[in-house]
Amino acid sequence: MTKLVTLNNGVKIPQIGFGCWKVPNKICADQIYQAIKSGYRLFDGATDYGNEKEVGQGIKKAISDGVVKREDLTIVSKLWNSYHAPKNVKLVVKKILGDLGLDYLDVLYMHFPIAQKFVEIDRKYPPAFYCGEQGWEFEDVPLAVTWRAMEDLVQEGLVKSIGISNFTGALIQDLLRGCRIRPQLLQIEHHPYLVQKDLIKWVQAQGIVVVAYSSFGPQSFIELNSKTAQDTPPLFTHPTIKKIAAAHDVSTAQVLLRWATQNDVCVIPKSSKKERLLQNLKSDSFDLTETELDEIDGLDQHLRFNDPWDWVQGDVKKKIPTFL
């Protein structure tokens, strides 16, 4: 059983979970079912991933087969950019719950600090970057307004914990000034090429749990034809990571995950192979030395693979300065 971490509302969640991004629809239900059988209890999904119906099918089978009970699981989703207006927050969460076949979410994140034009669910779902025939358009909804609507979902019992994703320190600080419910979690891109050490320490000092995505660096973005990822040496074969893995007789993936969890950062890797599923889940079974942690920190290049600035081409006025 993986270590549990306690959120600032007293809720406990697994430190190691299963990420649902890019899990193909055809195999998704079985992947979720097999991951539950392997011991995973946290599943990190999102509206934008387009596979929540299949995630729900895997959960339903595991529960009906007696593998787990609903209360054993931490089910996560994310509010996409198209639904930031308060009237649309509850609307889409009802859709998410319907797709998952659940009565409540354990965690709901605001996926990005970006409000894009609303697109009706029956027109295109998930909408991704589609805003209509006119191309990319923003919607004038302050983050604090969206956050209040998420707080309302907690009070209504539709969501247990709420968090933010891809936020900078200044945005978090501003949100904290006016919130009724402090964010329980922050999810960020985090790997040895993008360490973000100061942000993590500051956020943790605020009582907010940090969750890493893309723990393996460029790996997830190579298949998306990201030139930056394709031009970056893979972490799995990096000499420093290989040396440390050999010293502990573990895989390089386990080293990358342990580097995060040993810094009190949660992780959400995925794999379609049972052996790797189990390896990832057991990546907290050894400890890295302080020297090894420092060596991995030293690989930092401030290299971000998931930057909204790259989403919109052409007119700079329409570009998204999330991390500028």
Catalytic residues: 49
Residue 126: cis peptide before it, omega within 30 degrees of 0: yes
Q: Letter for the amino acid at 203?
A: V
> Would you say 9 and 211 are in contact if contact means Cβ atoms under 8 Å apart?
no
- The neighbouring-strand residues paired with 13 are 5
> Would you say 215 and 269 are in contact if contact means Cβ atoms under 8 Å apart?
yes
Q: Nearest CA to 164 among 142, 186, 180, 147?
A: 186
CA separation for the pair 106, 71 (Å, rounded): 9
DSSP states of 96-131: HHHHHT-S-EEEEEE--S--B----TTT-SS-TT--
Q: Letter for the amino acid at 109?
A: Y
Residue 167 burial (CB count, 10 A)? 25
| Helix or strand holding residue 228 (H, E) | helix 227-230
CA separation for the pair 217, 299 (Å, rounded): 11
- The neighbouring-strand residues paired with 212 are 188, 267
Q: Letter for the amino acid at 215?
A: S
